Every structure is written in structure tokens, then in C-alpha cells.
């Protein structure tokens, strides 16, 4: 399956993402999930960024937190709501919200 997973928290209380497998896995960082793309903990980037090459972060949720595109890890593509709609319809056949 091609699964797009919305991650909305920084401190994930579920290990679901570690267990899921997909032919194509996309991680879309929204809400507090954007911190995975912008913030290191003790100098280390989030391990979530190693799970797939298909990483996206919602620009509105980055900006509202006083962060900028330059703060986003280079592996993560900055997208807007319209892009997210396209991802849902064109790139992933199932979506999940964590």
C-alpha cells in the first residue's frame, strides 16, 4: 500500500509508525509534528526523518510557530494545504493520522 501518515505530535506516544510497513510511506508533518523537521534534541535530528525519503512539512504550521523554511531539515519538503490534497489523491492511496 502507499500510505501517507500525518504526524501531528512531536513526542509521539504511540509506536505505530515504527511498526507500519508500506510499499511507499510518506510522512506529512503537521501541527506540533513540524518540530520533527525543525528541531534537534541534544543536537540530534529526529529519528522519524530516517524512516522514509518521502517527508513533507506544512508551511502554515511551521510559520505559525515562528519558524522559517530555512529551519526545515533539507530532507523535508515544505508544502501547503493544496499540495497536501494532491499528495492524498495522487501519491498515496491511504492516509492515516497519528
Partner 1 sequence: MGKLAIACYPGLVGNMSFDFAMKLADAAADKGHQVSIWFSGNATGSVKAHQKHLKDYSTGEKHLQALLAKGVEICTCEACTVARGIQKPEGIEGIQWNAMHWYLAKVHAADRALLIGGE
Partner 2 sequence: MGDVKVAMIVQKPQYKGETSRLAITHAISYQTVEILLEDGDTVTPKLCFIGEGVLGLQKGQNAMELYGITSTESHMKNTLLVDLDVLVCKEDLDKYGIPEDAMPNADEMGADKTIQVVPFAEIQKAMEESNHVMFF
CA distance 67 to 39: 10
Q: Which of 30, 34, 55, 76 binds partner 1 (CB under 8 A)?
A: 30
Handedness of CA 74, 90, 58, 21 (dihedral sign): negative
Contact 7, 98 (CB under 8 A): yes
Q: Does 69 bind partner 2 (CB under 8 A)?
A: no
Q: Does 21 bind partner 2 (CB under 8 A)?
A: yes
Q: Does 11 bind partner 2 (CB under 8 A)?
A: no
Residue 1 binding partner per list partner 1, partner 2, none, with a CB distance cut-off of 5 to 8 Å that depends on partner kind: partner 2
* 77 SS3 class: strand
Q: Which residues bind partner 1 (CB under 8 A)?
A: 6, 8, 30-31, 60-61, 80-82, 84-86, 88-89, 93-95, 97
Amino acid at each position: 500500500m502507499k500510505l501517507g501518515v500525518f504526524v501531528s505530535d512531536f513526542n509521539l506516544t504511540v509506536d505505530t509508525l515504527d511498526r507500519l510497513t508500506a510499499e511507499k510511506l510518506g510522512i506529512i508533518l503537521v501541527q506540533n509534528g513540524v518540530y520533527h523537521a525543525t528541531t534537534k534534541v541534544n543536537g540530534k535530528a529526529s529519528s522519524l526523518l530516517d524512516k522514509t525519503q518521502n517527508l513533507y512539512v506544512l508551511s502554515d504550521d511551521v510559520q505559525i510557530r515562528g519558524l522559517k523554511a530555512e529551519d526545515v531539515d533539507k530532507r523535508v519538503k515544505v508544502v501547503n494545504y493544496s499540495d497536501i490534497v494532491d499528495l492524498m489523491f495522487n501519491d498515496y492511496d491511504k492516509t492515516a493520522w497519528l
